[in-house]
Amino acid sequence: MARYSLTTPLEDKDIEKLKAGDMVTISGTIFTARDAAHKKLVDLINQEKDLPVNLKGQIIYYAGPAPAKPGYVIGSVGPTTSGRMDSYTVPLLEKGLKGMIGKGSRSKEVKQGLCRHGAVYFAAIGGAAALLSKKVKACKVRAYPELGPEAIYELEVEEFPVYVINDIHGSDLYSQCLNKSSV
Amino acid sequence: MVVIRTVNVSEVEKTVAQLCIEANCSLGIDVIDALNKASSQETSGIGAEIFKQLIENAEIADSEKIPVCQDTGFAIVFLEIGQEVHLTGGDLTEAVNNGVKTGYTEGFLRKSMVRDPLDRANTGDNTPAIIHTQIVPGDNIRITLAPKGGGSENMSSLKMLKPAEGVEGVKAFIIETIRNAGPNPCPPIVVGIGIGGSMEKAALMSKYALTRELGKPSPDAETSRLEQQLLEQINNTGIGPQGLGGKVTALAVHIERFATHIASLPVAVNISCHAYRHKTVVL
Ligand code: SF4
């Protein structure tokens, strides 16, 4: 297990070295999006329209923050279950998306997409949302404010901690961890 | 002569509002103790690091009064109302919902409820609450608020087994549910199980089991043994904290049992994440 610090936008050389199980801290701009925003993005792609954010080299964080208290940049903000975004993911990879942060396993289709498009899937610690909110230094709504917590937020993060789950070589940390002989 | 106690529903409303904030921002001592204990048992490096961060997370949330998890959940409310209580001042359900609305708004908690499962428009105030009411002897009102995240709720499951499948069938179904859930419900998890009753009774028992003090064994010796056996089996899956491998997949298994039909053996598994939120007040 190696440790890396990466800054967005990600380049191919950043991604090639990552292996399932590595610990990475991410700094720079990342975008949040959940189910409703994904649906809108993919609808735009299907209609061959421009997206409200340029995804080239970017990371999407599957998260819907709690509202910020007065004086706070953002409320608690941990990852949501990634599997719900599986069916929307490949079209976004085709638009140049290089990383996703969430929790939980991905579909076969997504894992193959990661290898094909040279992108990575990271997990953040689910439920460590108060702690993770401290890594967010700025936050603004980038698209779909009407979706409330499901809007696309642009976050400036500093040393945001994640683990590599699926790398571009086809390794999957979750399946490596599951003790198949135990039942 | 029985004296009827009068309680204004506005008391219930105020209490619910307070409980929403407390339950979401401050994990109970039972949960903190369980995390500390599990942290010392975890041998995987990543796992131990995760426990450290979960404990730090709980400390930040409690001291700053911000939610432990951004998913502040369904507002699940258990009301145990003494039969000698007379409620005045309005509609009880409305009072609970107003309490949820106030708590989630003033506490800066996330509003996650949509008004309809198919049209999916957010109600904007996290109402309606999911309310389970029981009439019990006495003149108290016991209110338990247990916010429940969607991630772990979605990995829950219910099955109507054949009686012939017996305890082995029950165990196999529970382990299968946990393995299918894998990393999704944010392990380490707490597993609430309802065995018996009818379909809805089993589901309700599995939810109620998640309001028990974390790790407190069932008062029934045989059930408590089953809880221990299952905990061991679950922790042998290797899923570990956050599904990244390790010894501690679950912090506890809580089982509730009830009589059932000669033809039936219902089993419900309700999974809670490590954000095991539950707060109770007796009025
Ligand atoms: S499962 Fe629990 S800890 Fe994980 S995101 Fe949902 S509420 Fe938070």
Q: Which atom of ligand 1 is nearest to the CA of A80?
A: 5
List B residues 215-244 in contact with A (Cβ-Cβ < 8 A).
Answer: 233, 236-240, 242-244
At residue A42, φ and ψ (nearest 5 deg) are -70, -35
Find, among B164, B163, B215, the residue nearest to B189 by Cα.
Answer: B215
Do residues B2 and B84 touch, judged by C-beta distance below 8 A? yes
A128 Cβ under 8 Å from any chain B Cβ:
yes
Answer whether residue B139 shows pLDDT above 50. Answer: yes
Active site residue A117: no
- Write the pLDDT tens digit of every residue in A110-154: 999 999 999 999 999 999 999 999 999 999 999 999 998 899 999
Query: How far is the C-alpha of B82 from the C-alpha of B108, rounded, in Å?
Result: 32
Does the CB atom of residue B186 touch ligand 1 within 6 A?
Answer: yes
Does the CB atom of residue B190 touch ligand 1 within 6 A?
Answer: no
| Domains, chain A, with CATH or none | 3-181 (3.20.130.10)
Does the CB atom of residue B67 touch ligand 1 within 6 A?
Answer: no
Q: What is the pLDDT of residue A140?
A: 95
pLDDT-derived band at A180 (thresholds 50, 70, 90) equals low
What pTM was estimated for this model as a whole? Answer: 0.94
Nearest to A131 among B57, B246, B274 (CB): B57
Q: What is the pLDDT of residue A78?
A: 97
pLDDT-derived band at A179 (thresholds 50, 70, 90) equals low
Query: How far is the C-alpha of A8 from the C-alpha of A14, rounded, in Å?
Result: 10
DSSP B90-122: S-HHHHHHHHHHHHHHHTT-----BSSTTT--B
Nearest to B182 among A130, A178, A183 (CB): A178
- Write the pLDDT tens digit of every residue in B69-108: 999 999 999 999 999 999 999 999 999 999 999 999 999 9
- Write the pLDDT tens digit of every residue in B29-46: 999 999 999 999 998 889
CA distance A157 to chain B (A): 17
Does the CB atom of residue B241 touch ligand 1 within 6 A?
Answer: no
Among B237, B242, B273, B276, pick the best mutation site for testing chain A contact (most A Cβ within 10 A). B242
Q: Which atom of ligand 1 is nearest to the CA of B148?
A: 7
The catalytic position among A34, A38, A98, A135 is A38
Do residues B161 and B173 touch, judged by C-beta distance below 8 A? yes
Q: What is the pLDDT of residue A181?
A: 40
B64 Cβ under 8 Å from any chain A Cβ:
yes
- Write the pLDDT tens digit of every residue in B219-278: 999 999 999 999 999 999 999 999 999 999 999 999 999 999 999 999 999 999 999 999
pLDDT-derived band at A1 (thresholds 50, 70, 90) equals confident
pLDDT-derived band at A176 (thresholds 50, 70, 90) equals confident
Asked if B236's CB is within 8 angstroms of A80's CB, the reply is: no
| Average pLDDT value for chain B | 97
